[in-house]
Amino acid sequence: MVMFVIAALLGAAGQFLYKSGAERATGGWLSYILNIRIFSGVICYVAVMILFVAAFKRGGSLTVLYPIYASTFIWAALIALAAYGTPIKPLNLVGMGLLIGGMYLMGK
Q: Kindly state the helix (H) or strand (E) to which residue 5 belongs, with its residue range.
A: helix 2-24
Find the helix or strand (DSSP H, E) in which 86 lies. Answer: none
Nearest alpha carbon to residue 1 among 40, 76, 75, 58: 58
> Can you point out the beta strands (E) in 1-108?
none
pLDDT per residue over 19-34, tens digit each?
999 998 988 889 898 9
Read off the pLDDT of residues 46-72 as tens digits, 9 standing for 90 and up. 999 999 999 999 988 887 788 888 889
| Domain count for the chain | 1
Structural domain span for residue 102:
2-107
Which pTM does this prediction carry? 0.83
Using DSSP, state whether 52 is helix, strand or coil.
helix
Q: What are phi and psi of 105, to 5 degrees?
A: -65, -40
